[in-house]
Structure 1
Amino acid sequence: MTTVRLSQVTTEQACLRCFDVMRELRPHLQGSRDFVDQIMRQRVLGYRLLAAWEERRVVGLAGYRLTENLLYGRFVYVDDLVVGAAGRRHGLGARLLAAVRGEARAAGCRHLVLDTGLGMALAQRFYFRQGLLSRGLHFVEALSVEEAGS
Structure 2
Amino acid sequence: MPKMSSNVADAVNGLPADSTLRHAETESDLRACYPVMRQLRPHLRDETDLIQRVLRMRHARYCLLAAWEGDAVVALAGYRLQENLLYGSFLYVDDLVTTELSRGSGWGARLLDQLIHIAEQAGCAKLVLDTGLANSLAHRFYSRQGLLTGAIRFAKSLD
**TMscore range, shorter length:** over 0.9
Deviation per residue, 1:60-80 (Å, 9 max, x gap): 000000110000000000000
Match of 1:82 in 2: 97
Is the CA contact 1:68–1:74 (under 8 Å) kept in the aligned structure 2? yes
Are residues 1:45 and 2:60 paired?
Answer: yes
- Please name the residue that 2:28 is paired with: 13
Deviates more, 1:132-141 or 1:47-56: 132-141
| Residue aligning to 1:110 | 125
CA contact (8 A) 1:12 1:40 kept: no
Alpha-carbon deviation of 1:44? Answer: 2.1
Corresponding residue SS for 1:17: helix
Give every structure 1 segment of 4 or more consecutive aligned residues whose post-TM-superposition deviation is greater than 3 Å: none
**Identity %, equivalent residues:** 51
Larger Rg: 2
Task: Give runs of aligned pairs for residues 19-34 of structure 1, distance below 5 A.
Answer: 19-34=34-49
Q: Could you tell me how far apart the structure 1 residues matched to 2:93 and 2:112 are?
A: 9
Distance 1:73 1:45 in 2: 16
Name the structure, 1 or 2, with higher relative contact order (CA <8 Å, separation 6+). Answer: 1
Aligned: 1:2 with 2:6: no
State the distance in 2 between where 1:43 and 1:59 align. 22
Are 2:142 and 1:127 aligned? yes
Please, what is the CA RMSD of the aligned residues? 0.9
Q: SS of the residue aligned with 1:66?
A: strand
Matched position secondary structure for 1:133: coil
Distance (Å, rounded) in 2 between the aligned partners of 1:21 and 1:2? 18
Q: Which residue of 1 aligns with 2:154?
A: 139
8 Å contact kept, 1:52–1:61: yes
Structure 1 Cα separation of the partners of residues 49 and 150 of structure 2: 34
- Unaligned regions of 5+ residues in structure 1, if any? 145-150
| One-letter identity of the residue aligned with 1:67 | Q
Alpha-carbon separation, structure 2, partners of 1:27 and 1:34: 12
Count residues in correspondence. 144
1:124 positional shift: 0.3
